[in-house]
């Protein structure tokens, strides 16, 4: 039975207009959640390209979706990491409710003193029997206020160089000792947070990968994160360029030759990025995202900022308005929503989140272009001897 027949069998057995969660669970169990995952884990072991067939059939039947914007961190970062490094028990426990949206995930990586230099993180995890006791502070944690689970990096050995003494855990955000505090951002929202961990006990069965090898595990997460942010499939004139083009068409009184030239450059850049993304996704169909995803995320950030700025100018004085300055706690990270003023402000974060543009340029230079690495005098020093 091919994926089209499986999809139609799912629709015959489960009314897409019925209970949403029941349908999503049935879709996962039928292997139609992400078809390239193994059987029993929401997939069929089929080529990744077959997912488009499933999605088209379900869209035509008006079947419910799993609201990927709300659970994007789980789908784009936690799931591929759990698939690659998780035990069978972890995969069975976490992947289904992650995909159906029953459990939201967040990412506890960055710290006040370890953002761009993530390997310098100082949150400690100390072994105590079958548990790890975690103490530290994380920051810039999107959607931590709605999350049930978090992927967490913590230092388990301060006596070795910084990249070698890190371990990777799954943290229950409802456990005692986890405190989430909002961080108000430029838009007035507080979609991200700082998180304080005080004596949080994490069972060893919630560790991903070997002790001390968390940096290697994290590379899977980070590569997938960059693809999740910058490498999403989009139609021609999708995303911000579509928003700006529509503004141009609807506001002829504001057109100038200079703005027209900027729009054309933006349209061409957006099309280059879209086609490059298509080629990259084809290359990834049978493998794991690599450092090339850094280029997609870098291009996404630059385009979003340039195009949102152009959109504000096309709206003239109306583009400066932004009515909602109250601190809200949204459940989704919104890159392009609402009015032009919001989009312009929100896009400023695109060059920071998911790896700053400066760091991504280093990744591209060293891992894609093969250029010499920058000197790193602290590479072989034990973490505890690093100046802080």
Catalytic site positions: 225
Q: How far apart are CA 226 and CA 301, in angstroms?
A: 11
Q: How far apart are CA 186 and CA 208, in angstroms?
A: 35
Q: Identify which of 96, 86, 89, 83 has the alpha carbon closest to the alpha carbon of residue 37.
A: 83
Residue where the block lists tokens 């488009």: 52
188 three-class SS? coil
> Cβ distance 158 to 383 under 8 Å?
yes
CA angle in degrees (0–180, nearest 5) for 64-42-330: 50
CA angle in degrees (0–180, nearest 5) for 44-223-308: 110
> Cβ distance 345 to 186 under 8 Å?
yes
Q: How far apart are CA 107 and CA 105, in angstroms?
A: 7
319 three-class SS? helix
Q: How far apart are CA 355 and CA 288, in angstroms?
A: 18
Count the neighbouring beta carbons within 10 Å of the beta carbon of residue 362. Answer: 16
The two structure tokens encoding residue 34: 């992400």
């Amino acid at each position: 039975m091919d994926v089209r027949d499986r999809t139609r069998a799912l629709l015959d057995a489960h009314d897409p207009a019925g209970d949403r969660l029941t349908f999503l669970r049935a879709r996962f169990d039928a292997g139609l959640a992400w078809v390239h995952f193994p059987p029993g884990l929401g997939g069929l072991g089929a080529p990744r390209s077959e997912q488009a067939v499933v999605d088209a059939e379900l869209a035509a039947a008006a079947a419910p979706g799993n609201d990927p914007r709300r659970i994007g961190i789980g789908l784009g970062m936690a799931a591929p990491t759990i698939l690659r490094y998780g035990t069978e028990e972890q995969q069975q426990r976490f992947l289904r409710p992650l995909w159906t949206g029953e459990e939201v995930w967040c990412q506890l990586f960055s710290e006040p003193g370890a953002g761009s230099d993530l390997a310098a993180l100082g949150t400690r995890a100390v072994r105590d029997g079958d548990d790890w006791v975690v103490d530290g502070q994380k920051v810039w944690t999107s959607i931590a206020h709605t999350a049930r689970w978090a992927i967490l990096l913590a230092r388990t050995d301060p006596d070795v160089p910084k990249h070698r003494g890190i371990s990777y855990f799954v943290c229950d955000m409802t456990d005692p000792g986890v405190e989430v505090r909002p961080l108000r951002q430029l838009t007035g929202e507080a979609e991200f947070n700082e998180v304080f961990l005080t004596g949080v006990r994490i069972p060893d069965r919630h560790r991903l990968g070997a002790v001390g090898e968390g940096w290697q595990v994290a590379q899977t997460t980070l590569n997938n994160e960059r693809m999740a942010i910058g490498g999403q499939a989009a139609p021609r004139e999708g995303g911000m360029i579509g928003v700006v083009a529509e503004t141009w068409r609807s506001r002829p009184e504001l057109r100038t030759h200079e703005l027209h030239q900027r729009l054309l450059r933006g349209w061409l850049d957006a099309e280059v990025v879209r086609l490059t993304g298509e080629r990259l996704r084809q290359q990834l169909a049978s493998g794991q995202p690599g450092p090339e995803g850094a280029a997609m995320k870098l291009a996404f950030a630059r385009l979003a900022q340039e195009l949102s700025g152009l959109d504000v100018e096309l709206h003239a004085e109306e583009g400066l308005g932004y009515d909602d300055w109250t601190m809200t706690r949204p459940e989704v990270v919104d890159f392009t929503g609402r009015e032009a003023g919001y989009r312009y402000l929100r896009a400023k974060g695109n060059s920071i989140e998911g790896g700053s543009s400066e760091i991504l340029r280093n990744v591209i230079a060293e891992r894609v272009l093969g250029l010499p690495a920058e000197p790193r005098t602290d590479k072989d020093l034990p973490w505890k001897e690093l100046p802080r």
